[in-house]
Amino acid sequence: MTKPTIAIVQEAPVFLNLAASVEKAIGHMEEAAKAGASIIVFPETWLPGYPVWLDFAPGAGLWDDPGAKALFRLLAGNSVRLGDNHLSRLQETCDRLGAYLVMGAHERIGNTLYNSMFYFTPGAEAPVPHRKLVPTYTERLVWGRGDGSTLAAIDTPWGTLGGLICWEHWMPLARAAMHAKGEAIHIAQWPMVKEMNHIASRQYAFEGRCAVAAAGAVLTKADVIAGFRSLDVDAPEAEAMLASMPGGADDLIHTGGSAIIAADGSYITEPLYGSAGLVMGEVDMARQLEECQALDTDGHYSRPDVFELKVNTRPMPGVTFDGD
Catalytic site positions? 44
CA dist., res. 227 & res. 18, Å (int): 10
CA dist., res. 107 & res. 25, Å (int): 16
DSSP one-letter string for 207-230: HHTSEEEEE--EEEHHHHHHHHHH
How many residues in total does the chain contain? 324
151-189 residues labelled b (16+ CB within 10 A) or e (exposed):
bbbbebebbbbbbbbbbbbeeeebbbbbbebbbbbbbbb
CA dist., res. 211 & res. 186, Å (int): 6
CA dist., res. 206 & res. 202, Å (int): 6
Cα–Cα distance list, 26 to 19, 95, 137, 176 (Å)? 11, 12, 32, 34
Q: Is the peptide bond before 48 cis (omega within 30 degrees of 0)?
A: yes
Closest CA to 45 of 207, 185, 216: 216
